[in-house]
Structure 1
Amino acid sequence: MMERKSIMIIHPDEQARRKMHSILSHFDFQLTYANDGLHGIYGAKEVSPDLLITCIDIAVLDGLDMVSMLRNEKTTQHIKTIFLHSELNLDYIRTARNLEASAFLIKPYLDNTLIYAIKKALGESDLSVNKQRRALTYDECKTQHLAEIGYA
């Protein structure tokens, strides 16, 4: 049986987080969320996800700076990253490449594009569909994560 992978989604818009949750909850991932760069750093240090999916335009600390800080920490430097942005910005793409990003997706992206990027980032030849567990709702995942990092 494959090890259950964890994904942290860092996005300022709750509706976007809910949409990603609705896509990814069909697969056997442990999902956690943050809405800004500071909570993203704190959460990544606490949860140590296999993959971060982050917007570049997030509050407090933008996604590029946040990932740069995580790359400088021994405990978080291994975390794979997918960046999301609303426009094709070559400087951002170059910086993301220097940060060894697995993908750079331009919004709006297709659901299967996100799934393919995750599959590629995690090196999964076949994503496991969640058959044994009841998929947690977005609100359950959010509450569980807040409890894990001491905010609930």
Structure 2
Amino acid sequence: MAHSDHITVRDANVYRRWKSRAEPAAEALDHGGLTDDLVPVIIGPGRLREELVATMTRALWSQKPSRVDLITALHDTARQEPELCGLIRQRYVDSLHQAIEGVLAHAVERGDLPPRQADPSGGHSMAVSAAVALLLHWGLVRDRRVSGDDIAAIVDGVLMPLL
């Protein structure tokens, strides 16, 4: 069997199990527990700022270095693979967005935050999207480790004023 035949057989075996090259990456994300810590941290009434900081901190810092390396590698690969980029957005970015939205929903329910009138869904999408985009920009695009001070600055300078 020629070398190129060997690759074709291997690729055929891969595609028997997965429909696309992005699906094994999805399994790696799930197996690596990438989104396990992306849940709202609820502290209690009057503590919205602390809840936002804690949720974002848990999502970024509770990850093992191997998980951070996985995100970085997938992000680098996603530049050439649009399907993988969508997968990362769905599995990680959207989960982080939902965790922050969860904190805000609890704050609205307990009266710490008024519902947004501009957003028909009652969500706070622009503020959350801005915060998540800034986290990703610092962490992935600028290749900078996001610190606790950075997270507090994003909450204080972006989230809280937009809310």
Same fold (TM over 0.5): no
- Greater strand percent: which structure? 1
TM-score by length of 2: 0.27
Give the helix-richer structure, 1 or 2. 2
Report the TM-score when normalising by structure 1: 0.29
